[in-house]
A = this chain, B = another copy of it.
């Protein structure tokens, strides 16, 4: 279903699709070799839980292909997604033994895992890994804060538009595409997952998707394939600055 799934497991880091974006991005050849010694691949099917919050976590790793989500759940079942893990994103926290969130594969996922103890040891000796991890963590913190604005202050319609523009942007940056004019992409999330991301109910998500479609902001082919005729209109709907920032 996903073309990424057809990739045979990369044994060689130098041919890895996320080589230049993942936690190993800054590593030199000799540093990569040491990482190769402790790495192994794991596959998860769509819907499968990678790890439960509170479970002992004896590995860390990177998403190689597919999408996973980080969620928190309250006692009465209310759930909030707190992270969307795309290829190259890092899973796990050095220095912590148990998982803080549920990690669930949204699509089929391949992860490049490292046993935690050796990874932590290696991190001590390899500044390039720690440096890259700091950079990635700072980026995630920015993304989380951006999302706090969405969750706290935006209307349902703006929330949907924000999610769509974020996915469009990340998709474009993955495919090196420009975000001018019409943009087309897949939205690999169910209405329920979108709701959990945005702090809405799935009914409200569905209603606002219909409204955006009716108003010509987006076009749907099937449920998951989306076309945005004019990206600047979508950004306007999201309540973001329209000027600049179209690329990246």
Contact surface of A with B, Cβ cutoff 8 Å: 70, 72, 74-76, 78-80, 82-83, 93, 95, 100-101, 127, 130-131, 133-135, 137-138, 140-142, 144-149, 151-153, 198-199, 239, 241
Closest CB of chain B to A26's CB: distance in Å?
12
Which residues from chain B contact A153 at a C-beta distance below 8 Å?
74, 78-80, 199
What is the bound-complex CA distance between A83 and B82, given in angstroms? 16
For the residues of A in contact with B, the DSSP-based class is helix
Can you list 11 A-B pairs, Cβ within 8 angstroms, ordered by A?
A: A70-B145, A82-B145, A93-B138, A100-B142, A100-B145, A137-B141, A140-B141, A144-B148, A147-B148, A148-B151, A153-B199
Please judge, given known A-B contacts A152-B198, A198-B152, whether A75 and B239 are in contact too, CB under 8 Å.
Answer: yes
Query: How many chain copies does the complex carry?
Result: 2
Which residues from chain B contact A95 at a C-beta distance below 8 Å?
135, 138
Pairwise interchain contact B137-A83, C-beta atoms closer than 8 A: no
| CB nearest to A83 among chain B residues | B145
Known A72-B145, A75-B239, A95-B138; 15 more pairs at CB < 8 Å: A72-B149, A74-B149, A74-B153, A76-B239, A80-B148, A80-B149, A82-B145, A101-B145, A130-B131, A134-B137, A141-B144, A144-B148, A147-B148, A151-B151, A151-B152
| CB nearest to A70 among chain B residues | B145
Pairwise interchain contact B148-A241, C-beta atoms closer than 8 A: no
Pairwise interchain contact B148-A148, C-beta atoms closer than 8 A: yes
Most buried by B among A145, A152, A199: A152
The 4 closest A-B pairs by CB, nearest first: A152-B199, A82-B145, A151-B151, A144-B144
Which residues from chain B contact A146 at a C-beta distance below 8 Å?
72
What is the bound-complex CA distance between A70 and B138, given in angstroms? 15
